[in-house]
Amino acid sequence: MPSKTSRRRFGQVTKLRSGRWQARFTVPLGHPSGRGGTLVTAPHTFEANTYGREAAGDWLRAEELRLNAEGASWRTLVEHAEEERVRAAAETVPTFADYASIWLRARKVKGQPLQESTKRGYLIWLGKYLLPTFGEMPLNMITAADVVRWYEGLPHEKGKTVRECYALAKAIMKSATAADGVLPGAVNPFAIDGAGTIGKRSDKRTEVIEEADLGVILDTIRPEWRAMIALALGCGLRFGEIVALRRSDVDLRAKPPVVRVRRAIGTGPGGNRYEKGPKSRAGVRDQRVPASVGTVLAEHLRTYLTGRDGLLFPGPYGEWLQPTRFRDAVGGWCDVREAIGRPINFHDLRATGATRLAQSGAHVAEVQAFLGDSSSQAAERYVRATQSRMDDLTTAAFAGLDFGTTRLVSS
């Protein structure tokens, strides 16, 4: 308990039982800061001697001057110190924009760097939806309330956009708050339940192309692209894998004939095309070429190709074939859609090939190998669809038949 108090015009100096001096004051009522009546104590005590008492008085005089000089912006020394601490900490913590840039460069999936096409998508989400709100904020200043306000402002009619943006932001902050991150042990502010899964991913729309439609496709597509149809349908190749193929990747003399899939063409930031590996490790494969596909390929090699390393399906200037040209050119995919009368996708050819395999009795692993997928998810979907179709067919085929069950049992 205080043992002695020295009253002054402003504030008071108190001698404590320890002999040390304590200084404190009450903010005058009506002070512009709006904190009139607040009792403020010096953040430390002063030495137990005359010099300590004088120092306590000096502190009070300095505080009175600050009260008058700072007016509405007045804060206690403790509050000033905390603000300075926060400011200094903010200077050592990267902004969301800076950290996101580092994260994109260092991010790996299954031990591999992000594909350029994936980076391109992330950059779109960042630039349009994340950086305008969080870009200049230090990571440690982003709060759950900030996240909720941002989330409510997203275009919720676009389920995929909301899902992908939130999942990306959460992943970035998860890395930042990990044990080896820049904010080890901090709470990830992106913690809205279900926000990363809203608008459940729908199954990819695919359509099984019937024989009649296949004939229309082959009659409509440009002759130099006819073999692309065969490779997608009969070998399960993706568009990016097909346009990366070179003459040296095709071996029709092998037993069995194969197409060696080692590369794919992707689209990176700025729309730049680049060569990369297939979508997954399982995509690196020697794909068997059915006899019907081999006939089309052999004709294509004789008619359109020169040089062992020439592209099988080059653009007009020898470059990788652009998806836009394949779509929009005369005899391209837009013309195919018009001729068919439905908005079929090029991917439907690959799906049709997988479905035909399943209908022929191929197991999930065999369909998966045909597709060059690292996951069995797509293969399982095609096998299930085939089994479902078989169920429908057998139900319809044998409906109404009476095998005389009662008579058989009784006999």
Task: Just give the CATH number of 211-392.
Answer: 1.10.443.10
The contacts of residue 374 (CB under 8 Å, 6+ apart) are 279, 280, 281, 282, 283
Percent of the chain with pLDDT over 90: 46
C-alpha 11/C-alpha 194 separation (Å) is: 56
User: What was the pLDDT predicted at 157?
Assistant: 87
pLDDT average, residue stretch 207-231: 91
At 68, which helix (H) or strand (E)? helix 50-70
Poorest-confidence range of 47-56, 227-236, 375-384? 375-384
Q: What pLDDT does 411 receive?
A: 40
pLDDT at residue 36 greater than cutoff 80: yes
Which pLDDT value is given to residue 150? 95
For residue 168, give every residue at least 6 positions away whose Cβ sits within 8 Å of its Cβ, in sequence order, or none: 122, 125, 126, 130
pLDDT of residue 355 exceeding 80: yes
Residue with the bigger pLDDT between 2 and 273: it is 273
pLDDT at 399: 53
Band the pLDDT of 104: cuts 50, 70, 90.
very high
Region of poorest pLDDT, from 169-173, 336-340, 387-391: 387-391
What are the tens digits of pLDDT across the range 269-279?
A: 666 788 887 76
Residue 398 has a pLDDT of 46
Residues near 260 by beta carbon (within 8 Å), at least 6 away in sequence? 249, 250, 251, 285, 286, 287
β-pairing, 112-113 with 108-109?
antiparallel
- Predicted local confidence at residue 269, as pLDDT: 63
Q: What is the pLDDT of residue 297?
A: 92
**Where does the pLDDT of residue 381 fall: very low under 50, low under 70, confident under 90, or very high at 90 and above?**
low
Give per-residue pLDDT as tens, 276-290.
877 667 678 888 898
More confident residue, 378 or 63: 63
Residue 357 has pLDDT above 50, yes or no: yes
Pairing type for strands 250-251 and 112-113 reads unpaired
- Supply the pLDDT for residue 268: 67
Q: What is the pLDDT of residues 235-244, one digit of tens each?
A: 889 899 999 9
- The per-residue pLDDT for 197 is 65
Instruction: Residue count of the chain, please give it.
Output: 411
Report d(CA 235, CA 287) in Å as an integer: 6
| pLDDT score of 76 more than 70 | yes
Q: Which residue has the higher pLDDT, 312 or 120?
A: 312
- Is residue 365 within 8 Å of residue 374, measured between CB atoms? no
Q: Pick from 79-93, 100-114, 188-202, 208-222 the range whose average pLDDT is largest.
A: 208-222
Distance of CA 26 to the CA centre of its chain: 55
pLDDT surpasses 70 at 342? yes
- Which sign does the torsion angle of CA 366, 371, 374, 379 carry? negative
The single-letter code of the amino acid at 239 is F
From CA 46, how far away is CA 56, in angstroms rounded?
6
- Give me the chain's average pLDDT, please: 83
pTM reported for the whole predicted model: 0.53
